[in-house]
Amino acid sequence: MKFAGLWKIKAAAQFDAATLKLVEKPVEDILADESLDDGEKKMLHAKFLFTEDGWVKTLFPIPDDMPKEEIDEMLASGEFELFENSLVIEKKAVKEEDGVVKFDSGTKGEVMGEAVDPWVEIKENDDGSIKFFTYTLVKAE
């Protein structure tokens, strides 16, 4: 898999009320923005693991104050997995065809009578970062 490995968020698109457009901002700037609550900032600590067997897993750090019993319950539910010191909160299929890597966005439905293709291309930027949803990801150290 072309993007196999662990990636972290470098920048995220945010809605700019002044221009009514999405504007990409570095994670550091978003985290420093005191007008945003902690809930809006939590996802910026997530990492994404692209596996050789065709998955992208969203990893969320386990908070230090989370009780072990709560973690055990989440894992027992079967909806979550453990990866190192993070919870896998979501898994999406990834495929590579003719050098193009796509992920299954889960989008369903149709537009003007045509079925929507749920497979969305993951684009690589000139600096080696990739565009995934509204995030720009870079390889994690």
Q: Is the dihedral of CA 5, 80, 45, 132 positive or negative?
A: positive
Percent of the chain residues topping a pLDDT of 70 = 99
pLDDT tops 80 at residue 141 = no
Cβ neighbourhood burial of 29 (10 Å; 0-12, 13-18, 19+) = exposed
Q: Rg of the Cα trace of the chain?
A: 17
Question: Where does residue 103 rank: exposed (0-12), middle (13-18), buried (19+ CB within 10 A)?
Answer: buried
> Around Cβ 139, how many Cβ atoms within 10 Å?
13
The residues, ordered by sequence, that sit 6+ positions from 8 with a Cβ below 8 Å of its Cβ are: 47, 48, 137, 138, 139, 140
> Which pTM was predicted?
0.88
Give tens-digit pLDDT for 102-140.
999 999 888 888 888 999 999 999 999 999 999 999 999
Is the pLDDT at 39 greater than 80? The verdict is no
Residue-wise pLDDT for 4-25, tens only, equals 999 999 999 998 888 999 999 9
Provide the pLDDT for residue 1: 66
Task: Provide the token pair at 45.
Answer: 């600590």
